[in-house]
């Protein structure tokens, strides 16, 4: 259930920078895209463009009290990426959601996402996030796993392999 740790940023600026610096395989810089905005100016400075002032940064910074809101709206966006099956976008979504979970102190969610398999463009990882934060609308009647995404919805590999579709019916291609 929701706790205080789920509602706000629980990490210090120093912890945030340490995580940015130790992020492995973050070739596209997705980790700092989420984390830096929750870092104070002095700590973030070496990572900012030259000329960014404390005043500029005060406007750029995200509100730590609204991190949950930001994470939830990003989750909705991530579901769209799964539906679209855009591989690289989905991978970015997974990385960013994981970082939001980390910001809120949910190491358990970070671990769950890392442990979840990555078929169907990250759907199981996004599902692990959604389930932890109570954002999943329905569980699959067949396998009991949370159903994520629209259209070609995903619940589990077992259902996927059995070719069960738990989302709205796909439009048939043969309309002649
Ligand atoms: Zn299922």
CA-angle at 85, arms to 136 and 81, nearest 5°: 50
- CA dist 51 and 60 (Å) reads 14
Is 172 a residue whose pLDDT tops 60? no
SS3 10: coil
Ligand 1 geometric centre to CA of 92 (Å):
25
The set of residues, in sequence order, having a beta carbon less than 8 Å from that of 130 and lying 6+ positions away, is 75, 136, 146, 148
Ligand 1 geometric centre to CA of 137 (Å):
14
What pTM was estimated for this model as a whole?
Answer: 0.80
Domain boundaries, the chain: 4-134
| Residues whose Cβ atom is located within 5 A of ion ligand 1 | 140, 142-143, 155-156, 159
Burial class (CB in 10 A: 0-12, 13-18, 19+), 84: middle
Ligand 1 geometric centre to CA of 52 (Å):
49
**114-155: per-residue pLDDT in tens?**
999 887 778 889 889 998 998 887 888 888 888 887 666 778
């Amino acid at each position: 259930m929701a706790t205080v740790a789920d509602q706000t940023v629980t990490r210090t600026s120093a912890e945030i920078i340490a995580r940015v610096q130790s992020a492995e395989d973050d070739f596209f810089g997705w980790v700092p895209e989420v984390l830096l905005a929750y870092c104070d100016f002095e700590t973030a400075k070496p990572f900012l463009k030259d000329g960014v002032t404390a005043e500029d940064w005060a406007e750029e910074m995200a509100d730590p009290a609204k991190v949950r809101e930001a994470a939830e709206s990003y989750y909705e966006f991530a579901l769209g990426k799964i539906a679209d099956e855009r591989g690289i976008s989905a991978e970015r979504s997974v990385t960013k959601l994981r970082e939001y979970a980390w910001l809120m102190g949910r190491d358990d969610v970070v671990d769950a996402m890392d442990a979840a398999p990555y078929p169907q463009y990250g759907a199981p990882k996004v599902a692990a996030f959604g389930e932890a934060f109570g954002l999943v609308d329905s569980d699959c009647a067949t396998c009991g796993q949370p159903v994520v995404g629209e259209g070609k919805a995903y619940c589990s590999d077992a259902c996927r392999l059995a070719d069960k579709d738990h989302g709205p019916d796909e439009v048939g291609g043969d309309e002649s």
